[in-house]
Amino acid sequence: MHPQTPLFDIDEVRSKFPALERREAGRQVAYLDGPGGTQVPESVIAAMSSVLEGGVSNLGGGFDASRVAVRVTAAARAAIADLLSCRPSEVVFGQNMTSLTFSMSRALARTWAEGDAIVLTSLDHDANFTPWAMAAADRGVEVRVAEFDPAAGMLDPGSVIDLLDERVRLVAVCLSSNAIGTVVDVAPICEAAREVGAHSYVDAVHAAPHHLIDVGALGCDFLAVSVYKFFGPHTGAIFGRAEVLQRLQAYKVSPAPSDPPGKFETGTQSFESLAGVTAAVDHIASLGTDGATRRGSIEMAYQAIGLHERSLAQRFLDQTLSLPGVEVYGVPEASEARSPTFAIEVSGHTAPGVARHLATRGLYVWAGHYYAVNVMERLGVLDEGGLVRIGFCHYNTIEEVDRAVEALSEL
């Protein structure tokens, strides 16, 4: 048996993920690359296969295969609504978070004028930076950047709020850094943005596998997630506040729906992927014990996920912080102020070299900037090839943490 935590049976969870049985050169693979994309449970695979095997047609037909597409789409909206605590009509699907953000940036930028301003942060993934910066350049809009503290790895909400005034039209900020795991207190940022008449756009892609999300409590106008980061297929989803979605003019073909969320969903969606979306959310809900509602089960599931992941994170920190020549960036403790994602540097070794060494030990990790180019530049490591990223999620084990530390100690 693996070490257990009071709310979490890790062996049962791992048995649901076929990919976790992968072996290379006689070693069982440890997927520590979750921040770049997670593995999927059998239930997701079955849901996607079922749609393809049973037959599905496009929306709008007067026959059953088309009605299947309607039901699959509606179920996926309801699932994401339960995950984010919003209404299904406020859920927009697309190819991925990046594509959706570029699309939404065009729609929002139509409302900007020369002399306006937007506020971005240096902690964000480039998908929540460049789309807005490009839209601002097109409209002659000023870009203001709130910097995070590289020593502490934290973004003070005050540093964002201080940049707000009546000229600001948008604030874009991450809920959790995909590079160093920092969790940002975005609620006061969203409140301050609303007070000056600005929209708030939250990137929750990295947060979604690890932290319970309630868009009402955050007070944001938009929040983006990518389902493949929380055990599902490569599909993106955005929550958009109903009145904001209704007011915005979408870039769309003329026959497409005129009302949200459909007016923001360009072309035909991947119905098999949407079936996988529902199954991925249901997998998370299955980790809870509420049973009365899916949202209630999701809330309890994240308690279990958090307890398990913090035990992994603390184990990793306790060992790596004492390893000679290893520097761990970000919050130096396993707490609610960070996700279980770690950027590290090993003295005398390049990040790609460390990743290759770990790969020979059956440990999958990432190296480079992972599209968080501003983070790496702020940390002063961008020109050196970035950092090694080791990330844990709910299907990882204490043994896998120890294997990673042992492999690092060999360097």
Which DSSP helix (H) or strand (E) runs through 117?
strand 117-121
**7: confidence class by pLDDT, cuts 50, 70, 90:** low
The pTM of this model reads 0.96
Which CATH number fits the domain 46-283, given the four candidates 3.40.640.10, 3.50.50.60, 3.40.50.720, 1.10.730.10?
A: 3.40.640.10
pLDDT (tens digit per residue) in 374-390: 999 999 999 999 999 99
Helix/strand/coil percent split, the chain, to 5: 45, 15, 40
| Interval 89-100 mean pLDDT | 97
The amino acid occupying position 43 is: S
Domains of the chain, by residue range, sit at 10-42+295-409, 46-283
pLDDT (tens digit per residue) in 189-232: 999 999 999 999 999 999 999 999 999 999 999 999 999 999 99
Tell the CATH superfamily of the 10-42+295-409 domain. Answer: Aspartate Aminotransferase, domain 1 (3.90.1150.10)
The pLDDT score that the predictor gives to residue 289 is 78
364/354 Cα distance (integer angstroms): 11
The yes-or-no verdict on residue 3 having pLDDT over 60 is no
Burial label for 134, CB within 10 Å (0-12, 13-18, 19+), is middle
**2: confidence class by pLDDT, cuts 50, 70, 90:** very low
Q: SS3 for 316?
A: helix
The pLDDT score that the predictor gives to residue 1 is 38
Half-sphere exposure of 227 (CA within 13 A, CB side): 33
| Interval 92-110 mean pLDDT | 97
51/107 Cα distance (integer angstroms): 33
pLDDT (tens digit per residue) in 221-259: 999 999 999 999 999 999 999 999 999 999 999 999 999
| Interval 15-38 mean pLDDT | 95
The pLDDT score that the predictor gives to residue 132 is 98
Look over the chain and give the mean of its residue pLDDT values, rounded to a whole number: 95
pLDDT (tens digit per residue) in 110-138: 999 999 999 999 999 999 999 999 999 99
Q: Which of 244, 150, 264, 131 is nearest to 193 (CA)?
A: 244
